[in-house]
Amino acid sequence: MEQWVLTLMTFVPLLGAAVITFLPKDQHNLIRWTAAAFAAVPLLLAFWVWQTFNRGMAGVDDLAGFQYVVRLDWIPAYHIQYFVGLDGLSAPMVLLTALLSFLCIFASWGITKQLKGYFALFLLLETGMMGTFVSLDFILFYVFWEVMLLPMYFLIGIWGGPRREYAAIKFFLYTLAGSVLMLVGILALYFQGGQTFSLLDLMAQARNFADPNLTIFGLNFARVIFVAFFIGFAIKVPVWPFHTWLPDAHVEAPTAISVILAGVLLKMGTYGLMRISLPIFPGAMQYFAYAIGVLGVVNILYGAYCAMAQDDLKKLVAYSSVSHMGYVMLGMAALTGQGMTGAALQMFNHGTITAMMFLLVGVLYDRAHHRQINGFGGIGTVMPIYTGIAMFAFFASMGLPGLSGFIAELMVFLGAFQSWKLLTFLAALGIILTAGYLLWMIKRVFLGPLNEKYANLPEINGRELFTLVPIGVIVLYLGVQPNPVIDLMDDATLRLVQLVTTF
C-alpha cells in the first residue's frame, strides 16, 4: 500500500474518466455519482497519507526525505523513469488537490451541458494535478504539467461564460509559452547534468551547474536556466506582468473550475520554484532573491489596488488571488526558515480560503444570474446563513487572527523582515488594502437597505453547504492550531533554506 498509494491517487481519476466515457449520456445522476466516487478514492488515500506520513524524516536531496517512493524504468534509452515520491512540501498540496477536486464535483452538480465530457475532463485534470505534485522525474513532471493544460482549456472554452473562447485561448497560450521555456531548461539540464532527468540527481549537481566557467549563449548557465524556469513558473503563479490571463480565465470559467484554478493550479508555480528552481540553482536563487521579493510586493499591492477597482465580484476575488500569491513569493525569496515555511503554509491556506470565496460567488450567481457588486444590496437580511459563511471567508482572506490566513501571513512577515525591512513594510500595506476592498464589497452586497429585486433570494442549500463547511472547518482549525501542517512541511522547507544559505 505504501509503495503504490501515490500511483493510485494519481491514476484512479484517470480510470474514472475512462469509465464515464462509456456511461449512457442521458444518465446524468449516474455520471455525477461515478465522478464523485472516483474523486473520493484519492481523498481517502490522501487522509491515509496524512496519518501515516513520517514527520521525522527530513531532507530534499536524497531518498531519506521522500516517502512512498516508486522508481521504475520508463524509457531506459533516455534515462526517463516513473519516479514518484512525497515529502513535507508536496504532501499538503496533494491533500489540498484531493479535497478540492472531490468537493468541486458536487459544486458542478448544476452542470447539464455535455455532462460526460465535463466530468471526464475534470477527472483527467485531477490526474494531471496529482502527478505534478508527486513527480520526481523531470519528464514525468513535464508530462503531468502539460496534461493539465488540455482539460482546463476545454473546461473553460466549452462550459465558461460569454467570452469563454477568448479566455481559454489566452490561458492556453500563456501557459504554453511558459512550458516551452521549461522544456528548454529541462533539455539544458539533461545534457549538462550527465543525461539524467531525476530531480534528486540534478539537485546533487547544484555546484557543477553553478560553475562560473559554465556558460550558455555567453552568459552564466545557472542564471540563464533559472530565469527560464522562473518565467515558466511565474506565468502559472501568476507574477506581474504575466498575470493578465488570470482575471479573464476566472471570470469566464465555471465556479468549480475557478476553485481549482485558484486553489491548486496557481500553487503549482510557487511549488515548482521551491521543488525545482531553488534546490537545483541555489546560487542563482541568492542572486535573484531581492528581485523576486520585489515582484512579490508588486503582486501584493498591484493585485489589491486592482481588486479595489472591480465591480464584478468574481474578478475582485481573482485579483485578490494575485495579491495573496505575492506573500508566497515574498516569503520564499526571504530565504529564512520562517519565510519559507510561511510561504508553503500560505500556499495551502490560500488554496482553502480562495476556494471558499469562489464557491460563495458561484452560489450567489446561480440565484441572481449576475455578479455586479453594485447590483446587490442588503441581501444579508434574506440570506443570513449564506452571509455568515461569506463573512467568515472574507475575514479569513483579510488575515483576521484566529483564522488560517493570519498565521501564514505572519510567518511570511517574520521571515521577510529579517532580510528586507522596507519590502516587508510595503507588503504589510497590502493588509490594509485587502481590508479596504473586502469591507467595501461587504457593505455594498450584504449590508444597507435591501434591494427589493432580491427580496426572495433562496437561502444556501444543503449541497452548497456540503462544499463549503469542510473547507471552513479547516480554515478555522488551522487558524487556531496550525501545527499539524507546519510540522508536516517544516523539515522540508528548512532544508531548502539550508541548501541555499550554506551554498
CA nearest neighbour of 246 among 183, 200, 195, 178? 178
Please state the rounded mean pLDDT for residues 142-162.
Answer: 89
Comparing C-alpha atoms, which of 272, 269, 274, 275 is closest to residue 299?
269
Instruction: Give the Cβ contact number of residue 312 at 10 Å.
Output: 16
Residue 312: name the closest of 372, 359, 363 by CA. Answer: 372
Tell me how far apart the alpha carbons of residues 330 and 150 are, in angstroms, rounded to a whole number: 31
The three grid cell numbers given for residue 485, joined into one nine-digit string: 501542517
Using left for φ > 0, alpha for ψ between -120 and 50, and beta otherwise, residue 218 falls in left
**What count of Cα atoms within 13 Å lies in the side-chain half-sphere of residue 171?**
32
Number of domains present in the structure of the chain: 1
Spatial CB neighbours of 161, under 8 Å, sequence gap ≥ 6: 167, 251, 252, 253
What are the CB-based long-range contacts (under 8 Å, 24+) for 476-480? 476/392, 476/402, 476/403, 476/404, 477/404, 478/349, 478/352, 478/404, 478/407, 479/396, 479/401, 479/402, 479/403, 479/404, 479/405, 479/406, 479/407, 480/402
Residue 44 has pLDDT above 60, yes or no: yes
Residue in 313, 368, 369, 317 with CA at minimum distance from that of residue 162: 369
Kindly report, residue by residue over 72-111, the tens digit of the pLDDT. 988 888 888 999 999 888 999 999 999 999 999 999 888 8
**Is 21 part of any domain?**
no
Q: Is residue 240 included in any domain, yes or no?
A: no
**Percent residues over pLDDT 70 in the chain:** 98
Would residue 114 be called left, alpha or beta, if left means φ above 0 and alpha means ψ between -120 and 50 degrees? Answer: left
Reported as a single tens digit per residue, the pLDDT across 316-352 is 999 998 999 999 999 999 988 889 999 999 999 999 9
pLDDT at residue 60, rounded to an integer: 39
C-alpha cell belonging to residue 381: 437580511
- The alpha-helical segments, DSSP class H, found in 71-114 are 91-107
User: In the Cβ-directed half-sphere of 15, how many Cα atoms lie within 13 Å?
Assistant: 12
- Half-sphere exposure in the Cβ direction for 421 (13 Å, CA): 0
13-27, 195-209, 473-487: which has the minimum mean pLDDT?
A: 195-209
State the pLDDT at residue 477.
Answer: 93
At residue 26, φ and ψ (nearest 5 deg) are -90, -5
Q: Tell me which residue has cell 546560487.
A: 283
Mean pLDDT of 179-201: 87
* Per-residue confidence (pLDDT) for residue 449, from 0 to 100: 84
- Dihedral of CA 262/352/122/27: which sign? negative
How many other C-beta atoms are found inside a 10 Å radius of the C-beta of residue 401? 11
Rounded Cα distance between 157 and 172, Å, is 10
Domain for residue 102, yes or no?
Answer: no
Q: How far apart are CA 322 and CA 5, in angstroms?
A: 33
On whether residue 17 sits in a domain, the answer given is: no
In a domain, residue 322? The reply is yes
Average pLDDT, the chain: 89
Q: Is 73 helix (H, G, I), strand (E, B) or coil?
A: strand
* Burial of residue 300 (number of CB atoms within 10 Å: 0-12, 13-18, 19+): buried
The answer to whether 209 and 282 are in contact (CB under 8 A) is no
Rounded to whole angstroms, how far apart are CA atoms 485 and 85? 18
| pLDDT of 355 higher than 60 | yes
Question: What are the grid coordinates assigned to 138, written together?
Answer: 523531470
Q: How many CB atoms lie within 10 A of CB 26?
A: 9
Question: Which parts of 22-137 fold into alpha helices (H)?
Answer: 28-52, 91-107, 115-134
SS3 state of residue 461: coil
Instruction: Tell me, yes or no, whether 215 lies in a domain.
Output: no
- Cα–Cα distance measured from residue 78 to residue 275, given in angstroms and rounded to the nearest whole number: 22
Q: Are 253 and 168 in contact (CB under 8 A)?
A: no
Confidence of residue 61 (pLDDT cuts 50, 70, 90): very low
pLDDT band at 494 (very low <50, low <70, confident <90, very high): confident
Q: Is 388 within the bounds of a domain? A: yes
The answer on pLDDT for 242 being more than 50 is yes
**How far, in whole angstroms, is CA 271 from its chain's centroid?**
8
pLDDT reported for residue 59: 42
* Residues with Cβ within 8 Å of residue 336, at least 6 apart in sequence: 415, 416, 418, 419, 497
Contacts of the segment 73-78: beta carbons below 8 A, 24+ positions apart: 74/137, 74/140, 75/139, 78/195, 78/197
pLDDT band at residue 35 under the 50/70/90 scheme: very high
Residue 492 domain boundaries: 291-503
68: left (phi over 0), alpha (psi -120 to 50) or beta: left
The answer for residues whose C-beta is within 8 angstroms of residue 374's C-beta and 6 or more apart is 311, 444
Q: Is residue 405 part of a domain?
A: yes
Helix (H, G, I), strand (E, B), or coil: what is residue 2?
A: coil
User: For position 9, what pLDDT does the model report?
Assistant: 93
